[in-house]
């Protein structure tokens, strides 16, 4: 496992942060199917994108779980998982687009459902790139093996962004 720590200014456009952009360019090869269920209009890497906000440039505008459920089994080479990082952010995101927020939407169950679907849609040896305030990623119990962790320190009172790159080993 490689751990890098780089400093960069915070930005709501996660993939434009220089060390993260460099990591994605290193990780994603041309011709791969790259699924992005929380695209925020960022189209540089995702070949199939989704965002709840109907005003951003994205292929779909669905709840991320609904979007993931419509993707075929073992069809994706890479999944970029950059959801809202905290229950407060989830709540604000949903309410901002007139969606009902339940206790399940702000619990660990919300993330678990996404990760279960991500495991289903990734090909064997597929890559999951997770973003957040922890390095849990998809997790070993789902068959994900950590390959790299990038720590992006934003300075001041900003939380670091932690990026986990994992490879999925599906059982035969």
φ, ψ of residue 165 in degrees (nearest 5): -105, 125
Domain count for the chain: 1
Do 71 and 126 meet the contact criterion of CB atoms below 8 Å apart? Answer: no
17 occurs within a structural domain: no
19 occurs within a structural domain: no
79 occurs within a structural domain: yes
Which residues neighbour 134 within 8 Å (Cβ) at sequence distance 6 or greater? Answer: 162
Q: What is the pLDDT of residue 154?
A: 86
Q: What is the pLDDT of residue 33?
A: 98
Angle at 41 between CA 40 and CA 42, to 5 degrees: 95
Q: CATH number of the domain at 162, please.
A: 3.40.50.150
Spans in the chain with pLDDT lower than 50:
none
Q: What is the pLDDT of residue 167?
A: 98
Q: What is the pLDDT of residue 53?
A: 85
Write out the residue range of the structural domain in which residue 144 sits: 2-6+24-168
72 occurs within a structural domain: yes
15 occurs within a structural domain: no
Q: What is the pLDDT of residue 171?
A: 79
11 occurs within a structural domain: no
Q: What is the pLDDT of residue 102?
A: 65
14 occurs within a structural domain: no
135 occurs within a structural domain: yes
DSSP 31-79: T--EEETT-TT--SS-SEEB-S-TTS--SB-S-HHHHHHTSPTT-EEEE
């Amino acid at each position: 496992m490689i751990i890098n720590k780089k400093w960069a200014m915070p930005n709501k456009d996660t993939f434009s942060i220089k060390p993260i952009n460099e990591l994605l360019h290193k990780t994603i090869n041309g011709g791969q199917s790259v699924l992005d269920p929380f695209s925020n209009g960022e189209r540089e890497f995702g070949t199939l994108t989704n965002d709840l906000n109907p005003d951003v440039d994205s292929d779909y505008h669905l709840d991320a779980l609904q979007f993931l459920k419509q993707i075929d089994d073992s069809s994706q080479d890479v999944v970029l998982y950059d959801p809202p990082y905290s229950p407060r952010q989830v709540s604000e995101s949903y309410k901002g687009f007139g969606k009902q927020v339940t206790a399940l939407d702000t619990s660990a169950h919300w993330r678990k459902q996404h990760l279960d679907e991500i495991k289903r849609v990734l090909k064997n040896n597929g890559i999951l790139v997770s973003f957040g305030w922890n390095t849990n990623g998809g997790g070993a119990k789902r068959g994900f093996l950590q390959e790299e962790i990038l720590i992006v320190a934003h300075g001041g009172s900003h939380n670091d962004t932690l990026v986990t790159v994992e490879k999925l080993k599906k059982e035969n």
